[in-house]
Amino acid sequence: MPSTDSHNPTDCEYFAHDSAFIDVPCEIGQATKIWHFCHVMKHARIGQNCILGQNVSVAQGVVIGNNVKIQNNVSVYTGTVIEDDVFLGPSCVLTNVANPRAQIVRHSLYEKTVIRRGATVGANATVVCGRTLGRYCFVSAGAVVTKDIPDYALVMGVPARHVGWVSRHGIPLPDPDADGLMVCAESGFRYKLVAPATVRCMDLEEEAPLPPEMATGSILYRELKRGRSG
């Protein structure tokens, strides 16, 4: 691992595996863990309490928030902004040029992709550049995102299509009740469609962290699905 003076000289209270390459200069927050064969390029900014799994590449100028989990074999290219609490599944694909050609240099034309707080991108999903993935949205495994995704939206397929709404706990929400509320089967939090394509949690502010007692899963997803189907 490079010496600590290669990084933002705050305190270097993060962990990087000996096989990781961390370029000069960059910023890496406390308690972040960077595992085998990762490469963090110069001017990247990574927040606190993040995890970069094996073989993750973070390109020059990328901005990553706090508590972001990036699983194995993910490349985060220049032009990408990742907010707090985002989960990127194994081998998902992010891009930054819509029409790449080996013969054409488009370094000045990288498109900005924003993945907003709490979003999940499933394993092997692809996000076409220049899109915004809304807060707490859920991109299913293998989906191909070609359009912006609203907050709390559940999308799947190729190309990805909006098939429903999902809670902060990653649980698909049922149809609204008589009061227009959708209740998460795991947390009991209530959600409401407050405007077209705009869902909000009625029991917790968007920026508020989950209460500690609700931040650990206690039931398998398949069991929740079984309970909903009767």
Residue 21, number of CB atoms within 10 A of its CB: 14
198 three-class SS:
strand
pLDDT at 58: 98
Residue 21 Cα distances to 76, 92, 93, 219, angstroms: 15, 21, 21, 38
Q: What type of residue is 86?
A: V
Q: How far is the C-alpha of 228 from the C-alpha of 230, rounded, in Å?
A: 5
pLDDT tens-place string over residues 190-217: 999 999 889 999 999 988 999 999 999 8
Angle 19-89-186 from CA coordinates, rounded to 5°: 130
Query: Rg for the chain (alpha carbons), in Å?
Result: 19
What domains can be seen in the chain, in order of their start residue? Answer: 4-168 (2.160.10.10), 169-230 (no CATH)
What is the pLDDT at residue 229?
A: 55
Q: What's the confidence (pLDDT) of residue 2?
A: 39
Predicted pLDDT of residue 9: 38
10-residue stretch averages of pLDDT, the chain, 230 residues long = 40 88 96 98 97 98 98 98 98 96 94 98 98 98 98 97 96 93 95 93 93 88 68
Instruction: Please state the pTM of the whole predicted model.
Output: 0.91
- For residue 84, the model assigns a pLDDT of 98
What pLDDT was estimated at residue 3? Answer: 35
